[in-house]
Amino acid sequence: MAHSKSSSATACHLLAAVAISLSPVAAAQQSGSQVIDQVSIEEEASCYQLDLKFNVLVSYLRHFPLTQGKDLYIRLQLAPAPERDARLIRERRAIALPQEITTPLVTLVYKGDADEGPTLVLHYSEAQQFSVQQGKDFRSLSIQFGLPIDHCIASPTMGAE
C-alpha cells in the first residue's frame, strides 16, 4: 500500500511539473503566433487598399520611397512586449496575401530583425504610387496603392471604416 501512495505522489508531482512547464506555451499561443494577425485587400477601379491588423501596438514611423516605386519599405515601432512575445517581434516572416483578388502586390515581408528596426517590405510586379496611414487603434496600418494614386485617395469609399 505504501508503494501505491508513493507512486501516486510521484505521478502527481510529475503531472504538476509537466503542467507548469507547458503553461508558458499555452500563454504564447493565446497571444498570437505572429506579429501581423490579419491581412485584407480591397479593390476599387484599379486602386487597392491593404489593411494590416497587428497583435501588438504599432506606430508607423516613415516609409521609403515617398510616393512611388516597385518596392515600398515601411519603418515601424512596436510597443514593448512581454518576453514570451519578444521573439515574434524580432522574427522575419513572409506574410500570406489574400488570393480573392489579383493585385500588383507580389510579396509582403515583415522584417523584425532589420538593423534599423521592424520594417515591412512590399514588392510590386510594377511600379506603383502609394500612401501609408496609421490606424486609429494603433494596431493597424493601411496602405493604398495604384496608378494614379490621386484617383485612389480621392475615392470616397476607399479607407472608409
Q: Is 58 helix (H, G, I), strand (E, B) or coil?
A: strand
Residue 121 bridge partners (DSSP): 73, 109
Q: What pLDDT digit, counting tens, does each position of 106-161 carry?
A: 999 999 999 999 999 999 999 999 999 999 999 999 999 998 766 675 544 444 44
Assign domain 34-154 to its CATH architecture: Sandwich (2.60)
Burial class (CB in 10 A: 0-12, 13-18, 19+), 136: exposed
Structural domain boundaries in the chain: 1-30, 34-154
Torsion of CA 100, 106, 111, 117, to 10 degrees: -110
The pLDDT assigned to 19 comes to: 35
Nearest CA to 99 out of 40, 46, 53, 150 is that of: 40
Q: What pLDDT digit, counting tens, does each position of 49-79 carry?
A: 999 999 889 999 999 999 999 999 999 999 8
Using CA atoms, how far apart are residues 74 and 118, in angstroms rounded to an integer?
9
Q: Is 4 helix (H, G, I), strand (E, B) or coil?
A: helix
The pLDDT assigned to 84 comes to: 63
Grid coordinates of 95? 506574410
**pTM of the model as a whole:** 0.73
